[in-house]
């Protein structure tokens, strides 16, 4: 947490406006080098800094049990097997010829002689397609069969056990010598390849490895899947006043909460966080940390130090000399911007020794909102998601609130009833509000006030 960072969310609750470095044009000491962007323009710029990571083959067991929970397919996946692999019984019952049941009725049931038994396990372990025992069959005969067992070639119907005189199977009980059937039967057979045939598309590139996809891939004969590598994201806070969590703060000191906040956000976005922790407000310390971490991660995220204060070290380091011919020597592609949003106006984007770097404001709510608006889409693109910016959800305002003219508002809200949302009231701009928020309301820049009953788009975060 950076105590020098502004919290312009207070405007939504009627606080008096104040000039502050985070307030953008018109605030004290704003760098003339800064450019103004809309949220969409800056997000588009951020996404130009990142590309989907390389492909690796990962086992289905790891995809089912490892972290992060979801990976993203890097290539189309096609079936290696027919699914089902063979004509299989869809019921526990009896394999029959349908012609034997054409005259069956309640008044005149048909009696069939039971001549065999087919379990779901293959009769020959090395040959799952072999015909099961009892595959020879004459008129008026039936074979007991279990769900999933391969049906013999002569069988064109399976009568459920409940529709026969047996009624139910009992483990260990001998086969009935005969059965009676009082009606014709539907086939109750799952036919070979009726779900998926060899070569059919199981899932397209860009699909997340959900439980459903992993299961389908296993059924289709795959042991591994081609997925994008998981992004490694370094997170750090800047501020000489920051102390590690668990350490008693001295005069003027506060715990480093932002690096924990951002690390957890990286995890939730599907990346692997590399938490650096707090870095003092000196250019030498920050450069050393960035030099050390850049070769080992895919993205660097900083909090604090991007405004126009006397100790805004991220801005100062990124504003230093750049050599476009030697990007590995330090900063390159630097963009310092004021974004038309509340909170989170000051933002920074660059590369450090070739690794993309995003600098966020130090206020925790501003840092969190900025992560959701800009960093999360970047992490998702690195992970291979085809649509890195997730769609917003429409809700209805249960209460009204003010919104700043000319800036897109990001306001923590709580759910009310089935579809309503309401601001968190006085103090909703404080970091503690994030623990009570269910979503972030996103109000367009041209809207000056949200009224009860208005449709509001929100990022669901609960």
Residue 121's pLDDT is 74
Residue 123's pLDDT is 55
> Percent of the chain beyond pLDDT 70?
87
Average pLDDT, the chain: 88
Residue 129 pLDDT exceeds 60: no
Residue 69's pLDDT is 80
Question: Tens digit of pLDDT for each residue in 194-216?
Answer: 999 999 999 999 999 999 999 99
- Count the helix, strand and coil residues of the chain and give each as a percent rounded to the nearest 5: 20, 30, 50
Tell whether the torsion through CA atoms of 413, 246, 370 and 19 is positive or negative.
positive
Residue 128's pLDDT is 43
Using left for φ > 0, alpha for ψ between -120 and 50, and beta otherwise, residue 273 falls in beta
Question: Tens digit of pLDDT for each residue in 151-171?
Answer: 999 999 999 999 999 999 999
80, 82, 207, 405 from 204: Cα distances, Å: 15, 18, 6, 43
Pairing assessment for the beta strands 346-352 and 331-339 based on DSSP bridges: antiparallel
> Percent of the chain beyond pLDDT 90?
80
Dihedral (Cα; 431, 437, 439, 443), 10-degree rounding:
-60
Residue 92 pLDDT exceeds 50: yes
**Weakest mean pLDDT among 11-25, 48-62, 288-302, 385-399:** 11-25
Question: Tens digit of pLDDT for each residue in 99-126?
Answer: 999 999 999 999 999 999 998 876 555 4
The residues near 17 (Cβ < 8 Å, ≥ 6 apart) are 11
User: Which stretches of 73-173 are DSSP H helices?
Assistant: none
Residue pair 391/50 in contact by the 8 Å Cβ criterion? no
Residue pair 297/356 in contact by the 8 Å Cβ criterion? no
Residue 60 pLDDT exceeds 70: yes
Give the residues across from 232 on adjacent strands: 272
At 222, is the pLDDT very low, low, confident or very high (cuts 50, 70, 90)?
very high
Question: Tens digit of pLDDT for each residue in 326-376?
Answer: 556 789 999 999 999 999 999 999 999 999 999 999 999 999 999 999 999
Residue pair 338/30 in contact by the 8 Å Cβ criterion? yes
Residue 64's pLDDT is 96
Q: What are the E-state strand segments in 175-313? A: 178-181, 189-190, 201-203, 224-228, 232-238, 242-243, 254-255, 272-279, 299-303
Task: Read off the DSSP letter of residue 433.
Answer: H
Residue 429 pLDDT exceeds 90: no
Query: In a 3-state reduction of DSSP, which class is residue 60?
Result: helix
Residue 23 pLDDT exceeds 80: no
Dihedral (Cα; 148, 154, 157, 163), 10-degree rounding:
-90
């Amino acid at each position: 947490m950076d105590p020098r960072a502004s919290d312009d969310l207070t405007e939504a609750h009627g606080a008096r406006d104040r000039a502050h470095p985070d307030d953008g044009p018109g605030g004290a000491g704003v760098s003339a080098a800064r450019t103004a962007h809309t949220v969409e323009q800056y997000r588009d710029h951020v996404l130009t800094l990142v590309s989907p990571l390389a492909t690796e083959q990962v086992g289905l067991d790891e995809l089912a049990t490892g972290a992060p929970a979801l990976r993203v397919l890097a290539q189309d996946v096609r079936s290696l097997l027919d699914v089902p692999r063979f004509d299989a019984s869809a019921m526990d019952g009896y394999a029959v010829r349908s012609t034997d049941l054409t005259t069956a009725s309640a008044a005149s049931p048909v009696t069939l002689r039971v001549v065999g038994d087919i379990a779901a396990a293959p009769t020959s372990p090395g040959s799952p397609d072999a015909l099961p025992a009892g595959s020879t069959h004459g008129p008026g005969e039936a074979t007991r069969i279990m769900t999933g067992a391969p049906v013999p070639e002569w069988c064109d119907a399976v009568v459920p056990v409940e529709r026969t005189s047996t009624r139910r199977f009992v483990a260990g009980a001998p086969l009935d010598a005969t059965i009676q059937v009082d009606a014709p039967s539907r086939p109750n057979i799952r036919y070979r390849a009726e779900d998926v045939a060899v070569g059919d598309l199981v899932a397209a590139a860009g699909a997340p490895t959900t439980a459903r996809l992993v299961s389908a891939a296993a059924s289709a004969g795959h042991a591994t899947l081609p997925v994008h590598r998981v992004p490694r994201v370094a997170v750090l806070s800047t501020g000489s006043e920051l102390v590690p969590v668990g350490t008693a703060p001295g005069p003027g000191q506060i715990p480093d909460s932002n690096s924990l906040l951002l690390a957890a956000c990286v995890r939730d976005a599907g990346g692997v966080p590399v938490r650096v922790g707090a870095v003092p407000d000196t250019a030498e310390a920050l450069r050393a940390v960035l030099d050390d971490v850049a070769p080992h991660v895919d993205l660097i995220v900083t909090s604090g130090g991007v405004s126009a204060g006397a100790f805004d070290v991220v801005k100062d380091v990124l504003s230093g000399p750049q050599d476009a011919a030697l990007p590995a020597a330090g900063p390159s592609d630097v963009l310092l911007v004021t974004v038309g949003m509340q909170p989170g106006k000051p933002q920074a984007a660059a590369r450090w020794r070739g690794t993309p770097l995003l600098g966020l404001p130090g206020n925790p709510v501003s840092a969190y909102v900025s992560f959701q608006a800009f960093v999360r889409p970047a992490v998702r693109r690195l992970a291979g998601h085809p649509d890195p910016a997730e769609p917003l959800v429409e809700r209805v305002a249960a209460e009204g609130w003010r919104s700043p003219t000319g800036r897109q508002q990001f306001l923590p809200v709580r759910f009310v009833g089935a579809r309503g949302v309401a601001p968190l009231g006085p103090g909703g701009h404080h970091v503690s509000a994030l623990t009570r928020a269910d979503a972030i309301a996103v109000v367009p820049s041209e809207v000056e006030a949200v009224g009860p009953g208005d449709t509001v788009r929100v990022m669901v975060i609960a």
